[in-house]
């Protein structure tokens, strides 16, 4: 029989006995009523005695001791009604506490279920299917397309394309060459390859991740009720005051009244009720907290460690730029590539197709498609032969043009994947795909600072260049890159030794670190994974700023719980003094204590609300609508970036056409949007802000954008082909680049201000 079941049975038993005794008393059967109340209290006393004995053996002392003494004393003195009332209060408090602090079971189903079960071992000219656990070191193993690498090894095939996101968190597949190491847990994203094993299944990387999660969870200390911290003070004071009242008055019932008045139901109830309220409020915002323990841990967080991919970033390949050969257009390059990629199941292909559809490009059905896994795709679009993939696939043995070399260099420093596109053997452009910051990431980090977090660290398995490039745009205190799951655990442990630390991640590779942290927070909007199982807190919506909300809710909840405890103790103290002087009988003391309980519960329920004042006025436009407008505007900004790049090689009529296009785009899109905001949105927005002067800088940005737009208009008006010398092109590039960068920054700041102005 579980302890949780026993506690529920005890509260039902005590309530039934109290009700039955009241019925018997009303019918005049006082002896029977007293006997029923005693029978109702006895099991609760026995169970509590066993619990206290177990705690004492473990070196702990809680507030439960006061409840045990008061119930036992009531039975000894024949005040069985008092005993059963206290029993109901105590048993009810423990059930509430069970509900608040019980943690969801941390099953490793997602982690263990993903582990490879079978492998294909080659013996001479035959291939046999065996259990992964039967693989031995130096075996030759075949890994087929789409299979998970069963053990660690060395690649024997010339090349392999591997999805290592389960290990590093990096979503873009990596290419491994013969002689390089291959780790278990990676997925074969290319063609079948051979490898020579260097470890057994038990000794391999993926099995190590499972062991790390299990060990970290086992090492966690159990959550101790906040109320227990006050027990060492309450217990001796209660006993001394009750004993003194008895000795001075000579009336044992006066001492019992003191004990009943001191029954720590406010302490027993305060934290669980506040924690339940906090958990409920968090759930409304898409934050799942697994009980009361994570709330207290979150409230004490000093340091936050973030994984990069999928946590600080969107967690997948996104089209960040379309580079074109001279004379080609970005839309045509993307349209042909996306039409072809419709026939591929690769994650990069899905990103390309999605980007083309977002631009409203009409795609064609490809014919005669042939995919070289890990390299790219080729086929026929209409009457054109199109290839999309690596430079090797598209160029073959030919030398790259100057523009393509420049594109490869840009892809390198932007930590992006480069997909070249050719039409009838002529390379016409390249697509750059990379991970990118979540839109709300800067705001989320600022909110964590405001919530009281002192230190923030990025810890990632990604390359140093990519990690530091991403971190440069954020308010971080440290960047730890190229960290394996075990090294992530070590980094978390180091921070935890210094201050209470929280780890935020989303991948299987983050599970050990999440389990090892003081509190683990999983970005679980994309489905249940091992990280969600290992974490105490799961963010159910795909929003990083909910992490800051979780910290705020936890700190407010803990503060309210502490207020309730202190207020309950103070009121109980007053009742104890009154009982000591004979102003309260034991039953009156029990009723008084019930009143205190109600006040404590009502105060604890304040954790259901944010505590922040809200304004009844509405904004001129919702943050969601504003983001949609900015998304539309981003399409134009992306085109401005493409125009800037295309001007590198443009001259004459081509340069004039590009500059004219940029001016038209700025005048009809950017300028119209900013002027509308200044005229109609900002006046209403200023009324929502506690400091309306915060919009002064935003209005200054509007004026600067308008100024740059006027400069571009003047520059582009009346241009002739012979005017497009390198100095004019350079000036145009500078203006267009300034507008694009300033509008992007301005939009991000605008969204931050809108989020702050929204009623909570």
The three-state (H, E, C) secondary structure of 355-393, written as one string = HHHHCCCCCCCCEEEEEECCCEEEEEECCEEEEEECHHH
pLDDT of residue 62: 59
Residues 451 and 538: their CA atoms lie apart, in Å, by 19
Catalytic residues: 307
- Give the distance, in angstroms, between the CA of residue 11 and the centroid of all CA atoms in the same chain: 37
Residues sharing a CB contact under 8 Å with residue 607, sequence separation 6 or more, in sequence order: 274, 275, 277, 278, 281, 553, 556, 557, 560, 561
**Tens digits of per-residue pLDDT, 578-610?**
888 888 877 787 777 767 777 877 787 788 777
pLDDT of residue 598: 73
Which parts of the chain sit beneath pLDDT 50? 100-110, 216-224, 527-528, 614-617, 760
pLDDT of residue 501: 93
Angle at 517 between CA 515 and CA 519, to 5 degrees: 90
Nearest to 744 by CA among 651, 635, 647: 635
What letter does residue 510 receive in the DSSP assignment?
G
Residues 14 and 92: their CA atoms lie apart, in Å, by 9
Both structure tokens of 82: 């008092």
pLDDT of residue 222: 39
What is the pTM (predicted TM-score) of this model?
0.66
98 burial level (CB within 10 Å; 0-12, 13-18, 19+) = middle
Per the CB < 8 A criterion, the answer to whether 293 and 415 are in contact is no
Within 10 A of 299 (CB to CB), how many other CB atoms are there?
A: 22
Q: Based on C-alpha coordinates, what's the Rg of the chain? A: 34
Give the full edge-to-edge strand order of the sheet including 159-163: 174-177, 159-163, 187-188
Cα distances (Å, whole numbers) of residue 668 to 190, 582, 662, 701: 46, 84, 10, 18
578 burial level (CB within 10 Å; 0-12, 13-18, 19+) = middle
């Amino acid at each position: 029989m579980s302890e949780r079941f026993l506690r529920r049975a005890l509260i039902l038993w005590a309530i039934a006995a109290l009700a039955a005794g009241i019925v018997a008393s009303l019918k005049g059967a006082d002896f029977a009523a007293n006997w029923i109340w005693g029978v109702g209290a006895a099991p609760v006393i026995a169970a509590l005695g066993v619990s206290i004995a177990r705690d004492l053996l473990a070196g702990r002392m809680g507030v439960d001791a006061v409840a045990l003494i008061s119930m036992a004393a009531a039975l000894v003195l024949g005040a069985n009604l008092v005993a059963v009332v206290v029993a109901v209060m105590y048993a009810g408090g423990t059930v509430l506490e069970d509900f608040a602090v019980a943690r969801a079971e941390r099953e490793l189903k997602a982690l263990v279920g993903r582990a490879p079960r079978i492998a294909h071992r080659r013996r001479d000219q035959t291939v046999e299917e065996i259990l992964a656990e039967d693989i031995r070191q130096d075996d030759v193993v075949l890994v087929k397309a789409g299979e998970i690498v069963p053990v660690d090894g060395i690649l024997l095939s010339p090349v392999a394309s591997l999805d290592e996101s389960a290990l590093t968190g990096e979503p873009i597949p990596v290419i491994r060459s013969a002689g390089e190491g291959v780790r278990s847990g990676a997925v074969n994203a290319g063609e079948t390859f051979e490898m020579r094993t260097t470890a057994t299944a038990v000794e391999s990387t993926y099995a190590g991740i499972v062991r790390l999660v299990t060990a970290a969870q086992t090492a966690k200390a159990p959550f101790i009720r906040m109320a227990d911290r006050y027990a060492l003070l309450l217990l001796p004071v209660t006993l001394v005051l009750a004993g003194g009242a008895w000795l001075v008055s000579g009336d044992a019932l006066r001492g019992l009244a003191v004990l009943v008045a001191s029954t720590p139901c406010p302490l027993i109830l305060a934290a669980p009720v506040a924690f339940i309220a906090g958990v409920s409020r968090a759930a409304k915002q898409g934050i799942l907290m697994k009980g009361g323990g994570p709330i207290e841990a979150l409230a004490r967080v000093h340091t936050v460690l973030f994984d990069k991919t999928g946590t600080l970033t969107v967690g997948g390949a996104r089209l960040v730029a379309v580079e074109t050969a001279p004379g080609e257009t970005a839309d045509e390059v993307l349209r042909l590539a996306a039409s072809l990629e419709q026939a591929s199941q690769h994650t990069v292909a899905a990103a390309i197709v999605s980007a083309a559809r977002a631009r409203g490009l009409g795609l064609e059905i490809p014919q005669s498609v042939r995919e070289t896994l890990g390299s790219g795709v080729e086929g026929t679009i209409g009457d054109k032969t199109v290839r999309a993939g690596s430079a090797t696939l598209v160029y073959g043995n030919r030398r790259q043009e100057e523009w393509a070399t420049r594109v490869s260099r840009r892809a390198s420093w932007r930590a992006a994947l480069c997909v070249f596109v050719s039409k009838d053997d002529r390379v016409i452009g390249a697509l750059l795909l990379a991970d990118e910051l979540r839109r709300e990431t800067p705001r989320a980090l600022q909110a964590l600072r405001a919530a009281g977090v002192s230190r923030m660290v990025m810890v990632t398995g990604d390359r140093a260049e990519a990690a530091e490039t991403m971190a440069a745009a954020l308010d971080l205190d440290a960047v730890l890159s190229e960290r394996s799951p075990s090294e992530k655990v070590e980094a978390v442990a180091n921070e935890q030794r210094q201050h209470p630390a929280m780890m935020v991640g989303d991948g299987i590779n983050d599970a050990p670190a999440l389990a090892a942290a003081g509190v683990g927070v999983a970005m679980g909007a994309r489905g249940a994974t091992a990280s969600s199982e290992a974490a105490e807190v799961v963010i159910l919506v795909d929003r990083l700023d909910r992490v800051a909300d979780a910290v705020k809710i936890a700190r407010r909840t803990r503060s309210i719980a502490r207020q309730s405890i202190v207020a309950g103790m103070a009121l109980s103290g007053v009742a104890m003094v009154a009982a000591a002087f004979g102003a309260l009988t034991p039953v009156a003391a029990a009723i008084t204590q019930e009143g205190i309980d109600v006040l404590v519960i009502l105060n604890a329920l304040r954790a259901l609300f944010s505590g922040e004042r809200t304004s009844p006025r509405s904004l001129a436009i919702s943050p969601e609508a504003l983001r949609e407008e900015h998304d539309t505007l981003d399409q134009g900004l992306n085109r401005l970036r493409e125009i800037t790049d295309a001007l590198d090689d443009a001259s004459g009529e081509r340069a004039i056409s590009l500059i004219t296009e940029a001016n038209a785009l700025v005048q009809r899109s950017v300028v119209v949007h900013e002027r509308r905001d200044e005229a109609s949105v900002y006046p209403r927005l200023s009324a929502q802000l506690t400091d309306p002067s915060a919009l002064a800088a935003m209005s200054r940005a509007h004026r600067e954008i308008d100024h740059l737009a006027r400069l571009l208009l003047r520059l582009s008006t009346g241009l002739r082909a012979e005017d497009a010398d390198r100095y004019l092109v350079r000036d145009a590039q500078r203006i267009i680049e300034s507008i694009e960068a300033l509008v992007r920054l301005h939009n991000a700041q605008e969204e931050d201000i809108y989020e702050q102005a929204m009623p909570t």
